[in-house]
Each structure stands twice: as structure tokens, then as C-alpha cells.
């Protein structure tokens, strides 16, 4: 079977080399200097009653287009107004239909933290993330050798970005270090796109309970969020369930009302 993650990473390597050749480095540095304010996603999740990280996701390799028309400014401000603790914005273009411009457009609309969701393999993407206004970045264990993941986490911290480490299986538990601010369990296998929320419940007992734990993907009902919270999770990353509706902000509103916090 073709491993989709490997294909995405191969494409990303080419895109990053291209970005490094064409980017205006001094403009990037200027923007990093200007964007000094930083919001802690870890603290926002710890303090939040919903713990929901609402994601802006236009398409995915497994589902194709989920919402082609969605306007990132509208969705970002509706997500915040309706109780999201933080936002996740997918910026990968070929597989997820997003872009850095989406994050740039969303940033002035809201003041909750933004997670830049992409396949980060190179320091340059961290500089870019900081310059476009991200507060946190995702590092995916399945996409990075352990030493590389640690280096990227250290650079992210130097730049004032928080790190959400994403793991999927027991094999990746050794990626957890003090350098990561939040630990995410992806319920989706990025190689096959097989998705089971049971993955979070299975791994919960093996995760350090004094860390901020996030359950990611395939969450579509408030009952699951309640159970995940009982298992120790404080963050719930939800994309498709909201994005597949014509009004993702309204989808979040209904979800949170049913959660009955
Ligand atoms: O749309 P869902 O099933 O609610 O999932 C959201 C989010 O967890 C998912 O988009 C995701 C989790 N980890 C990733 C890594 C890369 C791309 C996407 C992802």
C-alpha cells in the first residue's frame, strides 16, 4: 500500500527548498521582530472549559474537498466567538488546500492562540510560522527522526513558538521530552488514514498525566469529548466535523451547547 505520509513529506521537501530559494529573508526577520506578542496555547487549553481546538481545513487526502468555499476570516472569528480555546489552521497546499496566507488572514480577526498545522521538517518553516503570526507549531513524530524532532522543538522555543508533539503509537513514546509543551495523540494513522478514537483511550494510560494532553482527529460527538476528558485529555482537535457544514462556526456552537459545560 502506498504510504500517504511518505508521499506528503517528499513533496514538502521540494516545496521547502523552493521556499528557501525564493523567500525574502530580511522581510521575514522584520516580521518576526514585529510579531513579538505570543499567546500560550498550553495555558489557553488548561484554562478553557471547552478545550476545543477548532480547525480550518478545506480538504484532506482521504476525504477530498470538505469545504471549498469557506472563508478563513469568517470561520476564524466565528470559531472564537462560539467558544474555541484555540484555532488550528492547515497551511499545506497540495494535500489540504490551505496556505500561509490563510493564517495571515485569520490572525487579525482573533486573539486566541493559533496552531500552524503543517508538515514541519525544516527550521525555515519555523521562522516562517513565527513571521506569519502562529503561536504554536505541530511536530509529527511519524514524519521526523527523533534527533531532528528535538532540534526543531528547540528552535521553535528559541523563536517563542510552543510545540504540539503528535504521536500515534506506543513506538513513538520516546519522542516525549521536556522540549514539548503539549502531547497530541493522533487518532488517525497518517500512513493509511485509518481513524479510531480508541487510539487516544489506549495510549492515555501510557502518557505523563502532568502534561497537557490533546486528542486529535475523528472526534464527532460531545459524548466522546466527555469521555476523553475523563481519560485525562484537556485539548480536543476537531476539523472535519465542523468544516463539513456550510457554517462551521455554528457547528461548533451546537457542539459546545450539547457538551453542556
Ligand atoms: O478533521 P478531523 O478528523 O477532526 O481531524 C483534525 C486534525 O486532527 C487533523 O486534521 C490532523 C491531525 N494531525 C494532522 C497532521 C497533519 C494534517 C492533519 C492532521
Q: How far is the CA of 33 from the centre of ligand 1 (A)?
A: 30
Output the residue whose Cα is nearest ligand 1's atom 13: 186
Residues having CB closer than 6 A to ligand 1 are: 55, 57, 117, 140, 166, 186, 216-219, 237-241
* Sequential DSSP letters for 202-259: HHHTTS-TTSEEEEES----HHHHHHHHHTT--EEEE-HHHHTSS-HHHHHHHHHHHH
| pLDDT single digits (tens) 96-117 | 999 999 999 999 999 999 999 9
Task: Judge whether residue 204 has pLDDT over 70.
Answer: yes
Atom of ligand 1 nearest to the CA of 57: 10
Atom of ligand 1 nearest to the CA of 55: 6
Q: How far is the CA of 241 from the centre of ligand 1 (A)?
A: 11
Task: Judge whether residue 29 has pLDDT over 90.
Answer: no
Q: How far is the CA of 41 from the centre of ligand 1 (A)?
A: 17
Structural domain range at position 150: 4-259
Identify the pLDDT of residue 25: 85
| pLDDT single digits (tens) 127-181 | 999 999 999 999 999 999 999 999 999 999 999 999 999 999 999 999 999 989 9
Q: Which residues contact 176 (CB under 8 A, 6 or more apart)?
A: 165, 167, 183, 207, 208, 211
Output the residue whose Cα is nearest ligand 1's atom 8: 217
pTM above 0.90, yes or no: yes
Average pLDDT (24-37) is: 84
Identify the pLDDT of residue 2: 67
Closest CA to 231 of 254, 257, 258, 203: 203
Q: How far is the CA of 189 from the centre of ligand 1 (A)?
A: 10
Please give the tally of structural domains in the chain.
1
Cβ neighbours, 10 Å, residue 260: 7
Q: How far is the CA of 240 from the centre of ligand 1 (A)?
A: 8
**CATH code, domain with 232:** 3.20.20.70
Q: Pocket of ligand 1, candidates 97, 116, 186: which has the most ligand atoms within 8 Å of its Cβ, to mutate?
A: 186
Q: How far is the CA of 30 from the centre of ligand 1 (A)?
A: 31
In whole angstroms, give the CA distance from residue 200 to residue 207: 10
Amino acid at each position: 500500500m502506498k504510504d500517504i505520509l511518505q508521499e506528503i513529506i517528499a513533496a514538502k521537501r521540494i516545496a521547502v527548498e523552493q521556499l528557501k530559494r525564493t523567500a525574502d529573508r530580511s522581510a521575514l526577520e522584520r516580521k518576526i521582530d514585529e510579531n513579538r506578542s505570543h499567546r500560550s496555547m498550553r495555558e489557553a487549553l488548561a484554562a478553557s472549559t471547552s478545550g476545543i481546538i477548532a480547525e480550518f481545513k478545506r480538504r484532506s487526502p482521504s476525504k477530498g474537498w470538505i469545504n471549498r468555499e469557506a472563508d478563513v476570516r469568517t470561520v476564524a472569528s466565528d470559531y472564537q466567538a462560539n467558544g474555541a480555546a484555540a484555532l488550528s489552521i492547515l497551511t499545506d497546499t497540495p494535500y489540504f488546500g490551505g496556505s500561509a496566507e490563510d493564517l495571515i488572514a485569520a490572525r487579525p480577526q482573533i486573539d486566541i492562540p493559533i496552531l500552524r498545522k503543517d508538515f514541519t521538517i525544516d527550521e525555515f518553516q519555523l521562522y516562517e510560522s513565527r513571521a506569519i503570526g502562529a503561536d504554536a507549531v505541530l511536530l509529527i513524530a511519524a514524519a521526523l527522526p527523533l534527533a531532528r524532532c528535538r532540534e526543531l522543538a528547540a528552535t521553535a522555543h528559541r523563536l517563542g513558538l510552543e510545540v504540539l508533539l503528535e504521536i500515534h503509537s506506543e513506538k513513538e513514546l520516546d519522542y516525549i521530552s521536556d522540549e514539548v509543551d503539549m502531547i497530541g495523540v493522533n487518532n488517525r494513522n497518517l500512513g493509511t488514514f485509518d481513524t479510531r478514537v480508541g487510539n487516544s483511550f489506549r495510549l492515555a494510560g501510557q502518557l505523563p498525566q502532568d502534561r497537557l494532553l490533546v486528542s486529535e482527529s475523528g472526534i464527532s460527538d460531545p459524548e466522546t469529548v466527555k469521555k476523553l476528558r475523563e481519560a485525562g485529555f484537556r485539548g480536543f482537535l476537531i476539523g472535519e466535523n465542523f468544516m463539513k457544514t456550510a457554517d462551521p462556526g455554528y457547528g461548533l456552537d451546537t457542539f459546545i451547547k450539547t457538551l453542556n459545560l
